[in-house]
């Protein structure tokens, strides 16, 4: 370069090299993005997510219908704001927007299919889980009883060392939901035995039973099971020493 020759000017043509950072910087300055406003919007969206999680908690391990797609939408909205403004995609060369949009479209179809399977299908639930939402373990289940009736919920208080109420009743084949509220100072459980009282009057000795619910001190545990064949059964707490101290009750299956 000859002495005194002027240096070439750097242009900010957005249609030239997409890696032209000088052009990108000038486009951002010209747009004057409101970063504080974007930050406030992100804060509001986050507050909405927290409010939904608090006001509509999971019930028995299942999300309340509608909360999942709403939370996913809010998550995508926040991600788009960050990408558009803080990562400058909105002000960058359009070739980057093309590749980003193509990637979003590539994931759109499997996302929609996943949402359909997530939100809809009782049929899918039934094929992967037994009645009451319990995973199928291959164990034989009671013959369906046309008179079983709808699911029944029992709310029990557990303390040292008793259940209240201690006498329950259900129909064979009926879905029984247990809500165990621990009003004591140590952990308690609700165990449903596999054999009737006539076959095993003290199932906590033989450890014959399935734990349905467990609750720590001042907490509530939930679970469910399908009522077995008719008979009288002894439910109990399987924490060592609790059933021996009187923490058991009777459930009559009709």
Distances (CA, A) of 212 to 64, 74, 144, 189, 225: 22, 35, 20, 8, 7
**How far does CA 69 lie from the centroid of its chain?**
12
Question: Residues of 176-191 as b/e, b for ≥16 C-beta within 10 angstroms?
Answer: bbbbbbbebeebbbbb
Neighbours of 160 (CB within 10 A): 14
Residue 159: per-residue pLDDT = 92
Measure the CA–CA gap between 42 and 182, rounded to whole angstroms: 40
pLDDT of 196 above 80? yes
Which CATH architecture best describes the domain 152-253? Answer: Sandwich (2.60)
Percentage of the chain beyond pLDDT 70 is: 60
- Higher local confidence (pLDDT), 28 or 134: 28
What tens digit of pLDDT does each residue of 52-98 get? 877 766 544 444 556 777 877 788 788 778 777 766 666 666 676 66
Quick one: DSSP state of residue 186? S
Residue 124: per-residue pLDDT = 41
- Higher local confidence (pLDDT), 14 or 177: 177
pLDDT of 147 above 80? no
DSSP percent split of the chain into helix, strand, coil, nearest 5: 35, 20, 40
CB 204 within 8 A of CB 236: yes
Nearest CA-CA partner of 131 in 91, 183, 171? 171
Output the furthest CA–CA distance in the chain (Å, rounded): 110
Residue 137: per-residue pLDDT = 45
- Higher local confidence (pLDDT), 235 or 65: 235
Strand order across the 231-236 sheet: 167-170, 248-253, 231-236, 188-192, 210-215
- Higher local confidence (pLDDT), 209 or 125: 209
Q: Please, which contacts does 239-245 make with residues 24 or more away whose CB atoms are closer than 8 Å?
A: 239/186, 239/187, 239/188, 239/189, 242/160, 242/161, 242/188, 243/202, 243/204, 244/204, 245/160, 245/161
Residue 117: per-residue pLDDT = 67
pLDDT of 204 above 90? yes
Break the chain into its structural domains and give their ranges.
Answer: 21-124, 152-253
18: left (phi over 0), alpha (psi -120 to 50) or beta: alpha
Measure the CA–CA gap between 226 and 137, rounded to whole angstroms: 13
Question: Residues of 117-155 as b/e, b for ≥16 C-beta within 10 angstroms?
Answer: eeeeeeeeeeeeebbbebeeeeeeebeebeebeeebebe
Residue 250: per-residue pLDDT = 96
> Of 33-47, 101-115, 228-242, which has the strongest mean pLDDT?
228-242
């Amino acid at each position: 370069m000859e002495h005194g020759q002027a240096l070439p000017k750097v242009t900010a043509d957005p249609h030239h090299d997409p890696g032209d950072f000088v052009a990108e910087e000038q486009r951002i300055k010209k747009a004057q993005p409101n970063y504080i406003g974007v930050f406030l919007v992100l804060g509001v969206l986050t507050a909405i997510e927290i409010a939904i999680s608090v006001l509509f908690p999971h019930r028995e391990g299942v999300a309340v219908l509608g909360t999942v797609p709403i939370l996913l939408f809010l998550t995508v909205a926040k991600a788009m704001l960050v990408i558009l403004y803080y990562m400058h995609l909105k002000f960058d060369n359009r070739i980057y927007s093309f590749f980003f949009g193509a990637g979003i479209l590539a994931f759109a179809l499997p996302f929609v299919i996943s949402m359909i399977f997530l939100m809809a299908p009782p049929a899918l639930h039934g094929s992967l889980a037994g009645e009451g939402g319990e995973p199928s373990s291959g164990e034989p289940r009671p013959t369906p009883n046309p008179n079983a009736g709808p699911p029944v919920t029992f709310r029990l208080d557990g303390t040292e060392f008793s259940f209240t109420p201690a006498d329950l009743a259900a129909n064979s084949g009926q879905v029984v939901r247990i809500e165990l509220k621990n009003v004591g100072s140590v952990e308690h459980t609700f165990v449903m035995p596999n054999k009737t009282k006539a076959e095993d009057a003290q199932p906590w000795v033989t450890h014959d039973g399935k734990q349905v619910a467990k609750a720590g001190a001042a907490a509530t545990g939930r679970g469910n099971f399908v009522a077995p064949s008719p008979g009288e059964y002894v439910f109990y707490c399987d924490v060592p020493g609790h059933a021996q101290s009187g923490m058991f009750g009777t459930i009559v299956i009709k």
